[in-house]
Structure 1
């Protein structure tokens, strides 16, 4: 978690951090661009929200699609891994954090996280513009299809 927090902070992006559990705490300080909240309602996300970091649980994916923003995925286990692949391969609306496999499990490196967050939040890059456009298209396709079925 320390590498994730450091990587996001090093990106210099503004961000909300949803406080979860008692195992790890993120604090906003004078140098941080973080706002720590008890719950971030992604379905009511402000239009200025530039993207989501997600573990790729189904609820998180639906909320991200509804907001029509690019996502940085960090699947942890179970169905989160294929969900992450679906977001990249089929919908093409995300960047995925790569993990290094080590003897005791896996590890993420802050420098990679910093670069991914910068790429995801660079509103002037052609890559970001394309992914943002694609996120809006996917939202329209999925939610219009859902409404037609009901």
Structure 2
């Protein structure tokens, strides 16, 4: 069965559902949620952001408020960087950009002069060669992404616009440089740039073949990370506003908290 067939099968089964859950929160996609509620007979409950934000509190309590690190841990490096100065780069683990686009990203980051933390599972030796020997950047195979995004030195996120990454960035209040690849990612990219207005669309700089050159990447990175330009300030301000909205949604009395409580009541009542 193809991906499209899976989607169609899932949609057609909604009429038999007792409840429809979403990993987003009502405030982020109120128009869609309200439309679904008016069209469907079952409760529509957005209970997100469904990300591991509770682990942030666990880590804080276990370390008595101090961040624990280990040799090679990126947090030791992040702690030494200025506030909002680091661009976090992660383009997902399932699908990634082409080899030529990866090269352009590496060259663009190198010429931008911006500090970066890049999570890259494959072709890291090639990227290290292109970026060169620099103390401005760090390349790793894995990190605790939400914890990184919540670090005060991280001021931007070059992302493939996967759902989890998008929700984590919104929760952390980090502006995004959107580079969606496939499936639902272009939709998330439009939400980031056009609806929530918390990022820039990197595809705007693509040539006729869809390739984004290194110099355009460098310009986009510097534009997002600029501390003194009006549009960058506006994006950062809106990102922080959405961060506050996310925080309120998961607190007692918030939209997601109440929806999750409603779900638990439904489950208990059906037993």
Distance of aligned partners of 1:55 and 1:143 in 2 relative to their CA distance in 1, 3 Å threshold: same
Distance across 2 between alignment mates of 1:83 and 1:125: 25
Other-structure match for 1:72:
177
Q: Deviations over 1:60-89 (max 9, x none)?
A: 101211221111010111111111001111
Q: What CA distance in whole angstroms lies between the structure 2 residues aligned with 1:142 and 1:118?
A: 27
Q: 1:23 to 1:14 in 2, by over 3 A?
A: closer
In structure 2, the residue matched to 1:40 is 143
* Counterpart contact for 2:103–2:127, Cα < 8 Å: no
Q: CA deviation at 1:23?
A: 8.0
9 and 22 in structure 1: CA distance in 2 versus 1, 3 angstrom threshold: closer
Matched residues, number: 147
Q: How does 1:69-148 map to 2 (within 5 A)?
A: 69-98=174-203, 99-102=206-209, 106-145=210-249, 146-148=256-258
Q: 1:148 & 1:10 partners in 2: Cα distance?
A: 48
Report the more deviating stretch, 20-29 or 58-67.
20-29
Provide closer, same or farther for how the CA distance between residues 42 and 67 of structure 1 changes in structure 2, counting only shifts above 3 A.
Answer: farther
Higher helix share: 2
Distance 2:247 2:186 in 1: 23
Structure 1 segments (4+ residues) deviating >6 Å: none
CA distance in 2, matches of 1:35, 1:23: 11
Deviation, 1:8, is: 1.3
Contact 1:19 1:25 in 2 (8 A): no
Task: Note closer, same or farther for the CA distance 1:3–1:32 as it changes in structure 2 (3 Å cut).
Answer: farther
- What does 1:26-37 correspond to in 2, within 5 Å? 26-27=127-128, 29-31=132-134, 33-37=136-140
Q: Could you tell me how far 1:24 is from its partner in structure 2?
A: 7.0
Q: What TM-score, normalized to structure 1?
A: 0.88
Give deviations 1:21-46, integer Å, cap 9, x for gaps.
Answer: 35874226434621011213231122
Q: Unaligned stretches of 5+ in structure 2?
A: 1-101, 250-255, 261-271
The structure with more radius of gyration: 2
Report which structure shows greater RCO (CA 8 Å, sep ≥6).
1
CA RMSD of aligned residues (A): 1.9
